[in-house]
């Protein structure tokens, strides 16, 4: 009986969009800690079709630095988020990539970086490459403590229109995510 219940779960897990983290590097500088990463994944057909229909797709990169403590739970030292949106502009037949440290909204308020591309592959390359992203100030880091960087990247399905959210439930085509941890004491060369 247990085999029958576990088998369908295993099939769902294998059908997820595979995300490869080809590079994850943290560099300590005078003013703080910088993160560079390179991801590799292909969009599933339903996600790509939604993009071509003009539905924007949102991605979030999260970086949390925690200090290990033996006497209590780990303490969060610093936290950074990068919100990204890829959308298709049907009138100009161009792709728009937007990135911000605050959640992106359709109101256009807030500070964000925007870039236009002729091909979807170029816009997705901008999503998959993060360079020199400042995730912590120097004052947040303790050279004597053992600290860990927790990195997470995922497609934010909560930003999709309601009908897509309901249709995406249980569908692994919409599940794009990767998580990784690195020990900052070894990585940044304490």
The closest of 175, 179, 151, 169 to 57, measured between CA atoms, is 175
Residue 65: is its pLDDT beyond 60?
yes
* Chain segment 22-45, per-residue pLDDT in tens: 899 999 889 999 999 999 999 989
Model-level pTM?
Answer: 0.81
More confident residue, 17 or 50: 50
The closest of 99, 32, 89, 34 to 61, measured between CA atoms, is 99
The pLDDT assigned to 73 comes to: 76
Mean pLDDT, residues 69-98: 89
Mean pLDDT, residues 13-22: 69
What is the residue-wise DSSP string for 86-149?
EEEETTTTEEEEEEESS---TT--S--EEEEESSHHHHHHHHHEEEEEEEEEGGG--TTS-EEE
The pLDDT assigned to 35 comes to: 94
Are the beta carbons of 103 and 83 closer than 8 angstroms?
yes
Query: DSSP code of 188?
Result: T
- What the block records as the tokens of 55 is 């539905």
Query: DSSP code of 38?
Result: E
* Chain segment 113-161, per-residue pLDDT in tens: 889 999 999 999 999 999 999 999 988 887 777 888 999 999 988 877 7
More confident residue, 143 or 15: 143
For residues 85 and 115, give the distance between their C-alpha atoms in angstroms, rounded to a whole number. 11
* Proportion of the chain above pLDDT 90, given as a percent: 44
**HSE-CB of 54 using CA atoms within 13 angstroms:** 5
**Least trusted range by pLDDT, from 38-47, 69-78, 166-175:** 166-175
- What the block records as the tokens of 164 is 């897509």
Q: Under DSSP, is residue 17 helix (H, G, I), strand (E, B) or coil?
A: coil
* Proportion of the chain above pLDDT 70, given as a percent: 80
């Amino acid at each position: 009986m247990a085999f029958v219940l576990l088998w369908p779960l295993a099939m769902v897990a294998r059908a997820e969009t595979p995300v490869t983290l080809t590079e994850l590097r943290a560099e300590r500088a005078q003013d703080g800690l910088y993160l560079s990463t390179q991801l590799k994944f292909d969009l599933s057909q339903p996600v790509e079709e939604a993009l071509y229909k003009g539905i924007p797709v949102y991605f979030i990169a999260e970086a949390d630095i925690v200090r290990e403590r033996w006497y209590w739970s780990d303490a969060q030292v610093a936290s950074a988020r990068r919100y990204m949106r890829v959308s298709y502009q049907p009138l100009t037949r161009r792709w728009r990539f937007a990135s911000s440290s605050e959640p992106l909204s359709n109101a256009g308020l807030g500070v964000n970086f925007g870039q236009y591309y002729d091909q979807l592959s170029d816009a997705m390359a901008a999503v998959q490459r993060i360079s020199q992203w400042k995730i912590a100030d120097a004052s947040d880091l303790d050279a004597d403590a053992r600290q860990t960087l927790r990195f997470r990247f995922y497609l934010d399905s909560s930003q999709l229109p309601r009908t897509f959210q309901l249709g995406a439930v249980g569908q692994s085509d919409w599940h794009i995510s990767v998580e990784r941890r690195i020990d900052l004491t070894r990585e940044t060369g304490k």
